Amino acid sequence: MPQSARNIVILGSTGSVGTNTLEVIAAAGDRFSVAGLSAHRRLAELTSQAAAWNPRWIIATDRQHAEQFRWSDLPSTTEVLYGEEGIQQAVSHSDVDTVVAAIVGSAGLRGTWTAVEAGKTVALANKETLVMAGPLVMDLARRCGATILPVDSEHSAVFQAMQSGKQDEIRRIILTASGGPFRRHTAAQLAEVTVEQALDHPTWNMGPKITVDSATMMNKALEIIEARWLFGIEPEKIDVVIHPQSIVHSLVEYVDGSVMAQLSPPDMKLPIQYALTYPERTSGPADKLDFATGFGLEFEPPDEHRFPALTLGHEVARVGGTAGAVLNAANEAAVQRFLDHEIRFTEIVPACRAVLGNHNFDSNPSLDQLIQLDAWARQEVTRWVCA
């Protein structure tokens, strides 16, 4: 590998962000080198990725599952590591420059934490890390000299637009939301939404959990919380606007009234690439806007009555402490119950609100406390029944 190549570890390499990251790296010539790849259970896919990329390590995070797996066709120079210790060993290695944190859900917290603690550049696709433990993670990054760069498309857009002015010149940031497949549904129609309908997202192709989050707009609620900690901006200065085309990925309004936006087709490869090449920009494989054919851009305010997740997101961003971890875990468990046909689509947010209301709030929790509350909130949701 060339001396100048940046060594990258991708946590969650078989998921949507992980595979897009490999496409970006493939198109970047010898700029990057794949040092490590991790997967939870998709070990056949992990093996094919290893054969194609010849990484120094692959990490199977579900050790029991990995012990049943017949490893074959691995490059002779690739070492197989297991579990959280495996992640720790790979991401903290001195040869590693950038860690792409793309494990979905709260399972991604520990690996991201380890990468931040090791002072790496972290391309953060796992928004749950900041939702659960935003103040702790940002403080750790400051102490350990880690750089956290957003991969979430909205936060990448805000990050890019923030380079037009100073932090104290920002009046507000405006996160765009596609509105999901049900933005025109009445409250009565929302109550009848099926799993199949919720999994059919109009503009982004993503995994089932985040697709349901997009439909309930809980994804935007989590992104409000993520933005609050990532940019150190007050929740009152974070607004949401519905933008069905998903071309404007978010905006920053400055005190003089100028609004800076970042536009591109909905393609995760662009924010991933920006996080990998920052502060430089390079040509890359992401789709480009075609102004020759013409297109429209629409914006409308969100309806918090039909999409109460947004109200909850602002509340949790305001109170901080343990609330983010509880909301995040409660939502993951509630989405799973919806996917298992146990609760209605419109019961996901009330279930989260109920569990939040029942928890022992602490304004200054430890990481272990947050992880315990994560487990507690999941249990609470399994017991929850609609009043």
Tell me whether residue 271 or residue 308 sits nearer to Mg ion (CB atom). Answer: 271
Candidates 61-69, 97-105, 151-159, 264-272 — which segment interacts with Mg ion by CB under 5 A? 151-159
The residue count for binding Mg ion (CB under 5 A) is 3
Residue with tokens 């794949």: 34
Tell me whether residue 271 or residue 365 sits nearer to Mg ion (CB atom). Answer: 271
- Minimum CB separation from Mg ion for residue 144, in Å? 26
Tell me whether residue 314 or residue 378 sits nearer to Mg ion (CB atom). Answer: 314
Count CB atoms within 10 A of the CB of residue 196: 7
Q: Which two tokens stand for residue 67?
A: 């012990």
Between the CA of residue 8 and those of 98, 100, 228, 318, what are the distances in Å? Answer: 5, 7, 27, 35
Burial class of 74 by CB neighbour count within 10 A (0 to 12, 13 to 18, 19+): middle
Which residue, among 6, 15, 168, has the nearest Cα to 103 in the 3D structure?
15
Tell me whether residue 33 or residue 214 sits nearer to Mg ion (CB atom). Answer: 214
Distance CA 71, CA 51 (A): 12
- Minimum CB separation from Mg ion for residue 151, in Å? 9
Distance CA 250, CA 266 (A): 12
Candidates 71-79, 150-158, 343-351, 354-362 — which segment interacts with Mg ion by CB under 5 A? 150-158
- Minimum CB separation from Mg ion for residue 123, in Å? 14
Q: Write the interaction track for Mg ion spanning residues 52-71; mark x where CB under 5 A is met and - where it is not.
A: --------------------
Measured from each CB, the residue nearest to Mg ion is 152
Query: Longest C-alpha distance within the chain, in Å?
Result: 62
Chain-centre distance of CA 228, in angstroms?
A: 14
- Minimum CB separation from Mg ion for residue 128, in Å? 12
Q: Write the interaction track for Mg ion spanning residues 100-139; mark x where CB under 5 A is met and - where it is not.
A: ----------------------------------------
Residue with tokens 């498309």: 153
Binding flag, residue 154, Mg ion (CB under 5 A): yes
DSSP state of 31: S
Distance CA 133, CA 327 (A): 12
Binding flag, residue 152, Mg ion (CB under 5 A): yes
Tell me whether residue 46 or residue 335 sits nearer to Mg ion (CB atom). Answer: 335
- Minimum CB separation from Mg ion for residue 162, in Å? 16
- Minimum CB separation from Mg ion for residue 238, in Å? 14
Q: Are 157 and 250 in contact (CB under 8 A)?
A: yes
- The SS3 of residue 277 is helix
Pseudo-torsion of CA 333, 200, 268, 7, nearest 10°? Answer: 50
Candidates 38-46, 60-68, 153-161, 322-330 — which segment interacts with Mg ion by CB under 5 A? 153-161
- Minimum CB separation from Mg ion for residue 106, in Å? 17
- Minimum CB separation from Mg ion for residue 300, in Å? 18
Tell me whether residue 43 or residue 224 sits nearer to Mg ion (CB atom). Answer: 224
Q: Are 111 and 123 in contact (CB under 8 A)?
A: no
Q: Given the rule CB under 5 A, which residues bind Mg ion?
A: 152-154
